[in-house]
Structure 1
Amino acid sequence: MSIQVGDRIPEVPLQRIREGVETVDTRTLFDDRKVVLFAVPGAFTPTCSEKHLPGFVRHFEDFRSRGIAVACMSVNDPFVMQAWGRSQDVPDGLMMLADGNGDFTRALGLELDASSYGMGTRAKRFALYAEGGVVKQLHVEAPGEFRVSSAEHVLAQLP
């Protein structure tokens, strides 16, 4: 069963690169703040690189002006996430998070079997909005679609 509106974000470590590889717990990322987390099936893949991440880069200041932190996550290693962020001109402050083994994705119940594409288990394409570690909105895409997890859609749904 996947996470639902009203549920707490599960406590699972993720990785990112700032001054070297850093392990960061989801409680540290989500508690005591407002966060939009969007997940992509794979860094450097077409829809993720041409539409999903660029939309959040374009609207990053719109989220920030509302006091909302933005995080991008994928079942990839932190070096891939760092390289992808650089290639997409991700602004400082937009967190590029690696869920290397898919532990957080499984804890959310939002895993995708992409084995037929040679990608193994990945995250479904989704976006969630959380306040104080509690999910307030959840937007999970149907297979092959990109609509409800876009930056524009998420912004339009915010209170």
Structure 2
Amino acid sequence: MKLMGRDIPARELLARIEERLRTRGLPTSEQADVPEQGVEPRVDPLSFNLQALEENADATRALPLHTHRGGAGQLVLVAKWAFRKTCQVFINEALARQRVFNGHVRDSYAQLSAEVMRLRGEVEALRAAQASSQGQTPPPAEPPARTRRTAKQTKSSQEQ
């Protein structure tokens, strides 16, 4: 049976969605009180990305060993471990240039981030000066944008 748009009760569907959002502490069309303990704090994307670059700059640092196989598949972990132990010198040599490049990318990003923050400050100062010269109150500063960590980023930061 194929449902048509008129077969779906829109008001009931919206009510169920808003109820599910409310139970999770998320805002709905009505302004609800959001509990502070269940909400992630705002993250500055510039510092978040810089930290992520810092964590992953060393290409020779191994990721945690894991496998999705069970039973005899655990031998894969032993083989990976043995390969890393015996060939780490070669891995370091092969990835030395990448490690240097990653450091330069991280440093460049930090410089660009600092420049963006400096320019934002200048824009805010110009807006405030312009508003005060016109006898207006300056507009409020924009809050930092919020970024979400992906499951992979959260997992990697927890493992470290």
Question: Could you tell me the TM-score, scaled by structure 2's length?
Answer: 0.22
Using CA pairs below 8 Å that are at least 6 residues apart, which structure has the higher relative contact order? 1
* Structure with more of its chain in strand, by fraction: 1
* Structure with more of its chain in helix, by fraction: 2
Q: Which has the larger Rg?
A: 2
Question: Could you tell me the TM-score, scaled by structure 1's length?
Answer: 0.22
